[in-house]
Structure 1
Amino acid sequence: MTDSLTKRDQPDRSKINMNQDYEVHYWTKHLNVSKEELQKAIDKVGNSAAAVRKELAV
């Protein structure tokens, strides 16, 4: 996702940025996991959304 909320570019959904509250909110809802579960998956496989989905078996 883009870092600026004012940009009209397509958000980059291929990476998960745990430093952006709105991204954490999106991904925890989208993957139906807690913030802690999301962080553990990212720590294990990196911030690639595809890798995190695979790790969480979503």
Structure 2
Amino acid sequence: MADDLTKRGPPDGIRINVNEAWELRDWSKHFGVTPDALKAAVKAVGVMSKDVKRHLGK
């Protein structure tokens, strides 16, 4: 199912969409990294938050 872009709540906790500015901002803050570092992590391991978390060593 597609994201409902009218709902600007917290990230869904499963997938990271770095193409949405608000998700990029929220996930970057959550992991304590810069947006560019988050984009690089997603590029390296994919969009699943558990994989990004492991990649970032969090």
- Using the size of structure 2 for normalisation, the TM-score is 0.82
* Aligned equivalents of 1:54, 1:27: Cα separation in 2: 14
Aligned twin of 1:22: 22
In the TM superposition, what is the alpha-carbon distance from 1:6 to its structure 2 partner?
3.5
Which ranges in structure 2 are unaligned for 5 or more consecutive residues?
none
Which ranges in structure 1 are unaligned for 5 or more consecutive residues?
none
Query: Any idea what SS the aligned residue of 1:29 has?
Result: helix
* Aligned equivalents of 1:44, 1:34: Cα separation in 2: 15
Aligned residue pair count: 56
Q: Find out whether 1:5 has 2:6 as its counterpart.
A: yes
How does 1:28-47 map onto structure 2 within 5 Å? 28-47=28-47
State percent identity of aligned pairs. Answer: 30
| Root mean square deviation, CA, Å | 2.2
Aligned twin of 1:53: 53
- Using the size of structure 1 for normalisation, the TM-score is 0.82
In the TM superposition, what is the alpha-carbon distance from 1:26 to its structure 2 partner?
0.4
In the TM superposition, what is the alpha-carbon distance from 1:12 to its structure 2 partner?
2.0
